[in-house]
Amino acid sequence: MIKTPEFWNNKGIVSTALLPFAAVWATATYLRDRLAKQVSAALPVICIGNLSAGGTGKTPLVSLLYDRLIEAGMHPVILSRGYGGSQKGPLWVDGTIHTAADCGDEPLMLAEGRDVIIGRDRVVAAQAISNRGIHDIILMDDGLQHPYVKKDMTIGVFDGSVGIGNGRLLPAGPMRVGFENGLASLDIVFINGNDEHELTAAIDGRVPIMTGTVVADQTIITDLDETPLLAFAGIARPQRFFRTLEKVGGVVVQSLAFADHHPYTQSDLTRLQEDSIRLGASLITTQKDWIRLPAEWRERISFMPITMQTDSIDDLLGRIKAVAASKMRDNINV
């Protein structure tokens, strides 16, 4: 659990020195994929993930798709590995019982009003979904590189402000898979924010591109009424959160970045509280960080909700429903 390295954005000395390790990553991935036995789930599987490490806006898109599928009369479920949680699963996430330490921060956040299951073995978790008998489509949160469950549709999410960084494989760069090979595995590319790194040109019409923007809810900033803020975040790109706060009118007097998925200790939180008192500031963080806080601290700390907005949602939902209908017809004809 580290902060996103700056050298992932360039092909400098550090990145170049790590290229042998990137070759090891590529070889291990190739062997795993060749040896993997792929299983087709009983329900349609729509995978929303990243070709690169680091935040791209995937989770807000998963939330949006789930909510809109519900509105369309479908019965989706979100399947997650449960990264950062101690439970192997399959486990149906319940926010009244479980914590981020049990199931991971993103599944717990997604489970607010949604059906979410975690499982390190996603084949077994997909079977548990089918056995439940009330769902008709699986939204797999992450897992584009997971070779064991067959995906009926793949959506690759990119942060337009970052693109693919230096384009190199982990750990020399942010890529989990080479851009060209990864692109060939996608049915749809979804770019979050402005395309500042010519992704559209690099894709060159080979995959349909949709766009959207993560939007912050300004209500909390309005309620704080220009109160000075001490902002902290343990996400892949904390600076993006700090910039967003200022963009919506937050008066940020201090910002502190932690590693992605950082488990906050009492020592961390006591220090944050002491700093906030010294500065006369209110504490604020991301919803993903807030969900990881001990219950007694959540009442003292605010979070800024975000949502995904996209003009492409009707097109995207139409494609998803068509894929789901085709899968179910095939199952009936078998």
The pLDDT tens digits for 197-251 are 999 999 999 999 999 999 988 888 888 878 999 999 999 889 889 999 998 889 9
12 is known to lie in a ligand binding site: no
167 is known to lie in a ligand binding site: no
- Please check whether residue 169 lies inside any domain of the structure: yes
pLDDT band at 2 (very low <50, low <70, confident <90, very high): low
For residue range 50-68, what is the model confidence (pLDDT) as tens digits? 999 888 899 999 999 999 9
Do 318 and 194 belong to one domain?
yes
59 is known to lie in a ligand binding site: yes
285 is known to lie in a ligand binding site: no
185 is known to lie in a ligand binding site: no
Looking at residue 223, its pLDDT comes to 83
Looking at residue 4, its pLDDT comes to 79
Do 108 and 167 belong to one domain?
yes
Q: Which of the residue ranges 81-85, 183-187, 221-225, 234-238 would you say has the lowest mean pLDDT?
A: 221-225
Q: Which of the residue ranges 20-34, 136-150, 168-182, 237-251 would you say has the lowest mean pLDDT?
A: 237-251
For residue 87, pLDDT beyond 80: yes
54 is known to lie in a ligand binding site: yes
- Please check whether residue 334 lies inside any domain of the structure: no
200 is known to lie in a ligand binding site: no
**CA separation for the pair 12, 185 (Å, rounded):** 29
pLDDT band at 69 (very low <50, low <70, confident <90, very high): very high
**Alpha carbons within 13 A on the beta-carbon side of 240:** 21
- Please check whether residue 286 lies inside any domain of the structure: yes
- Please check whether residue 148 lies inside any domain of the structure: yes
pLDDT band at 333 (very low <50, low <70, confident <90, very high): low
Do 56 and 152 belong to one domain?
yes
| Domain that includes residue 72, residue range | 6-214+309-329
* Cα angle 238-115-150, degrees, rounded to a multiple of 5: 85
Question: What count of other Cβ atoms lies within 10 Å of the Cβ of residue 139?
Answer: 27
Do 66 and 174 belong to one domain?
yes
Do 91 and 199 belong to one domain?
yes
Tokens of 330: 């095939």
CATH code of the domain in which 185 resides: 3.40.50.300
Do 204 and 62 belong to one domain?
yes
> 0.85 exceeded by the pTM?
yes
Nearest to 320 by CA among 130, 65, 120: 65
Do 252 and 324 belong to one domain?
no
Do 172 and 283 belong to one domain?
no
Do 287 and 267 belong to one domain?
yes
Look at the chain and report how many structural domains it folds into: 2
**CA separation for the pair 238, 258 (Å, rounded):** 8
